[in-house]
Each structure stands twice: as structure tokens, then as C-alpha cells.
Chain A
Amino acid sequence: MTIHAVWVINKAGGLVFSRTYSDTLPTQTLNATLILAGTLHGIHAITSRLNPITGKGGLESFEGENWGGKIWMSLTGIKLVVLHSIAHQGLDELMKKIYEIYSDAVMKNPFQTLEMPINSSLFESRLLGLIQSVN
């Protein structure tokens, strides 16, 4: 499995973190990525409305040829998005670990404002370590 990219989307649909970990992904401007993330947030909201079992969440994954995306939302409303290759294994476990790193390196930094872009070298380096262990 190759992890192409990791995004963190805040409650309001703003992209607060994005990193690319493979060179196969087409390069995009930050603005384009922001729009994509916002759209994905919207799609997630729409799909959760369509869910016959209310309160059970929306879109969880999408797939294309040889690649896919996985969306996981915490109870607090932040969304983690991972773009990955197919076949993939242990994605759920990976998402959980990313969330743990997020709760550690981002939320415990007293200078990190909630909902704002993440500029944490600790978060980046720990995330990089995790991704390199799977890529």
C-alpha cells in the first residue's frame, strides 16, 4: 500500500493540513486542494443526509482505478482523509494512529488555535515516520 496524501479537514470544511507523500499524485496549487477538500466536506454532509440510519455518518471511502480515498470523522467533527493505492490493508489502524498523533502533537500544543491551519513540525515529523513505515 502506498499512502499518497493525508488531509485534515476542520469542522467547518476548511483544510487545515495537507501533505503529499508520493510523487505519483498530480501536483496542485494549495488553492485547488482547498477547494477539493471543501467539496469533499460537502459531499460528506450530503451523503450523511442520505443515510437511512440517521446519525450514522456519511461517505467513508471512494475508489478509482488503482487508488482510493478514506474519510474518517472523529466525534468532535474533524475529518481525516487519506489518499491511498489499492490494494490497501490496515487503513483503519493507520487512521487511528494518525488521530492519536493529531491529538498528541496538535491538540496538546498550547499555541495551536482550534480550527486553524496546523503548522507543527512535531506533527509533520511523527506523521512522516508513520507514513514511511507503511509506504
Chain B
Amino acid sequence: MSTGAKQYKAIGDDVWKRTDKVNAELFTLTYGALVVQLIKDYEDYAEVNKQLDKMGYNIGTRLIEDFLARTGLGRCATFAETAEVISKVAFRTFLNISPAVSFPPPTQNPTSNLPPPTEFILTFDENPLAEFAELPRDAKEGGLWFSNVLGGVIRGALEMIQLQVETEFLSDVLRGDESTELLVRLVRVLDEEQPENDE
């Protein structure tokens, strides 16, 4: 583990200790009930995925301020650093997990002139959202991404700090896959009218 990663791990551990906790069962059941209600309301798994992503986005745009206020972290120099911060600090602080970060081999992408890496994959060994969930066959076939809210949160949070990203689940153990993987792809760095004050 590099010094940067170690340092982020320490920050994450520290903030986690100071965070108010909520009962895990209540949290997991609340999320489960939410997903099931969406399925009932929309009767379409693609639409449910979309709604979960939207909800996540709305959470992310708010959560980022809390994250910045409590960690006091400044701007990341590279997208790789952003990945480390998300895994070691953000996920640790809010869900007490630290998904593994990996970088897929760069694809030929002529439209992007951003310095690599522009993509990373978060692999979740544990997932508090899906602690008790077992997808019925119908949901598996319908293409439900049960934890799709997570992608939305990352998208919303990063957009507020001028990083436009796309997120998509590549696999989910709930669907019978080997692992749960979330891909985050940097689309562009938004041009705010002024540079940031990184005090």
C-alpha cells in the first residue's frame, strides 16, 4: 500500500470513529423496502435502476459537502487519487467498507484527452445494502442492479466538485456473479468559471 493510500486509510478510520452510527438492520431493511416499493411502482427493472441512480445522485450532491466539511480534504491531483479517496475515505466514512480499487487497461478513446487513468473499478467484498437480499429470478432476468444507488451517489458527489463521471455496475454477486464491481468513468472535468480555492 502506498503512503497516499495509507494516509487516506487513516483519515477514513478517524472520521468513521467520529461519525454517528445507525443500526445496520434498520439501514439495510429501509433500502430493501425502498427497492421493492420501486419495483412495485414501476414494474420495470430498467426504470427501477434509473430511479435508484437518480436518488443516489440527489444524495451525492448533498453528501459531498458533509464529506468535505468533515474530512477537510483538498482537491485530488489525479483521478487515481480520487479513486483512493472514494474507497478509503468516503466508503469507509459512510458505509464502513473499503472496496478494492483497480484500473482496467486503458481503452483506445480518441475523444478523450484526459490524462489516464480515466476509469477505475470498485470491487465490493461486502455490501451493507444487500446484506439480506436474494434476488428472485424475475429480477435477475429483468436486469435489476440492486445497489444502483451507489453509482448515483458517486456521480452526484463528483459532479459537485467538477468531475463529470459515468458509473455502471459490471457485476453483482446477487446476480450470481463472482464479485460485485462498479465502474466509474471520467467523462470530463467541468469548467467552472473560476479555479478552486484549495485552502
**Interface residue ranges, A against B (CB under 8 Å):** 11, 44-45, 48-49, 51, 54-58, 60, 72-78, 92, 96, 99-100, 102-104, 107-108, 114
Tell me if A's interface is mostly helix, strand, loop or mixed.
loop
Nearest CB on A from B89, distance (A): 14
Contacts of B161 in A (CB 8 A): 75-76
User: Which of B62, B65, B198 has a CB less than 8 Å from the CB of A57?
Assistant: B198
Given contacts A76-B64, A107-B65, A114-B61, contact A48 B195 (CB under 8 A): yes
Interface size class of B (residues with CB under 8 A): 20 to 34
**Interface residue ranges, B against A (CB under 8 Å):** 61-66, 68-70, 72, 74-75, 160-161, 192-199
Given contacts A75-B75, A76-B161, A96-B72, contact A60 B199 (CB under 8 A): yes
Nearest neighbor of B76 in chain A, beta-carbon distance: A75
How distant is the Cα of A55 from the Cα of B162 in the complex, in angstroms?
A: 13
- Give 11 new A-B contacts, CB below 8 A, not counting A57-B198, A60-B197, A103-B69: A44-B194, A48-B197, A57-B195, A57-B196, A72-B197, A75-B68, A75-B74, A76-B65, A102-B69, A104-B69, A108-B62
CB atoms of B62 and A107 under 8 A apart: yes
Given contacts A75-B74, A75-B161, contact A55 B196 (CB under 8 A): yes
| Residue of A49, A73, A78, A103 contacting most chain B CB atoms (<10 Å) | A103
How distant is the Cα of A57 from the Cα of B69 in the complex, in angstroms?
A: 18
Contacts of B63 in A (CB 8 A): 107
Contacts of A99 in B (CB 8 A): 65, 68-69
Nearest neighbor of A57 in chain B, beta-carbon distance: B197
Nearest CB on B from A55, distance (A): 4
Contacts of A58 in B (CB 8 A): 194-195, 197
